[in-house]
Amino acid sequence: MTSSWYINKLSGRITVRRKRLEIILSSLKANPEPKLRFEEYSLDPTSASTVLHVATSLGDIEGRDVIDLGCGTGILSIGAAILGAKRVVGIDIDEDSLKVALENTKSLSVKVEFISGTIECIGPSFDTTVMNPPFGSWRRGLDVQFLAKALAISNVVYSIHKASDKGDSFLRKKLEDMGGEMKRLGELEIRIPRLFGFHKKAKYEVAAAFYRIVRLASLRRDSLPATHLIT
């Protein structure tokens, strides 16, 4: 990472304040043609900076190996790199999104490894997963698939989901079955601009919550298959 304004010269530690990170992330380009079949709703800079700053405060970003499942145009991946992650990998099935993500990393002089493919082509091991997975509105159960993969490849997961008491109970049960423990850390108002033809308003706000999920030691990690690295 070449931008010296990310570093506290006295301590040598990453000291980007949340609001500053939000401003930096607001400069990133979005995918001009998001695909509904992939539930490509970009995460807004306020929500992304909030999740990443909490994760950093809990020791799960700086100096860690971090992966972003369903990285889109890279807002969480790039934010993690800015906050001092040792290594950051982002994976997405949409190569158009990854092209924009690469442009975004170059514009900020940060390093992120991007992989084109489904989440199944990723194997262990990472310290932390950060992700804004599909909510499963169009493909039921897709959010659970992302959670299962995240727990299989990392020790700690930060994940964003629609906010509801019923949803909390559902996630908690699923995660217990997978060998994970979750804690709800806070609420978000995700701001989504008009993206698709059926959107009638210029902007939508979706009530969401973000969680820290810990993989229990008994959960077995899977093996590492081949991947397609985008450089």
The residues spanned by each domain of the chain are 4-230
State the helix-helix crossing angle for 18-25 and 45-57, rounded to 10 degrees: 140
**What six digits make up the tokens of 197?**
């033809």
User: Where is pLDDT greater, at 4 or 8?
Assistant: 8
Q: What pTM value is reported for the model?
A: 0.82
Question: What is the CATH code of the structural domain delimited by 4-230?
Answer: 3.40.50.150
Average pLDDT over residues 124-141: 82
Average pLDDT over residues 132-136: 80
Judged against a pLDDT cut of 60, whether residue 206 lies above it is answered with yes
**Contact yes or no for 39/199 (Cβ under 8 A):** no
Q: From 92, 35, 64, select the one nearest 230 (Cα to Cα).
A: 92
Judged against a pLDDT cut of 90, whether residue 21 lies above it is answered with yes
C-alpha to C-alpha distances, 43 to 32, 131, 197, nearest whole angstrom: 14, 10, 19
Q: Running DSSP on this structure, what letter comes out for residue 14?
A: B
Question: How far apart, in whole angstroms, are the C-alpha atoms of residue 68 and residue 147?
Answer: 12
Mean pLDDT, the chain, whole residue set:
82
Judged against a pLDDT cut of 60, whether residue 10 lies above it is answered with no
**Contact yes or no for 157/167 (Cβ under 8 A):** no
Find the radius of gyration of the CA atoms of the chain. Answer: 17
35 pLDDT tier (thresholds 50, 70, 90): low
215 pLDDT tier (thresholds 50, 70, 90): confident
C-alpha to C-alpha distances, 140 to 136, 166, 176, nearest whole angstrom: 5, 16, 20
Predicted local confidence at residue 184, as pLDDT: 93
Question: How far apart, in whole angstroms, are the C-alpha atoms of residue 5 and residue 9?
Answer: 9
Average pLDDT over residues 121-130: 92
2 pLDDT tier (thresholds 50, 70, 90): very low
What is the layout of strands, in order, in the sheet containing 65-69? 180-193, 203-215, 154-162, 126-131, 65-69, 87-92, 113-116, 229-230
Average pLDDT over residues 27-43: 74
222 pLDDT tier (thresholds 50, 70, 90): very low
231 pLDDT tier (thresholds 50, 70, 90): very low
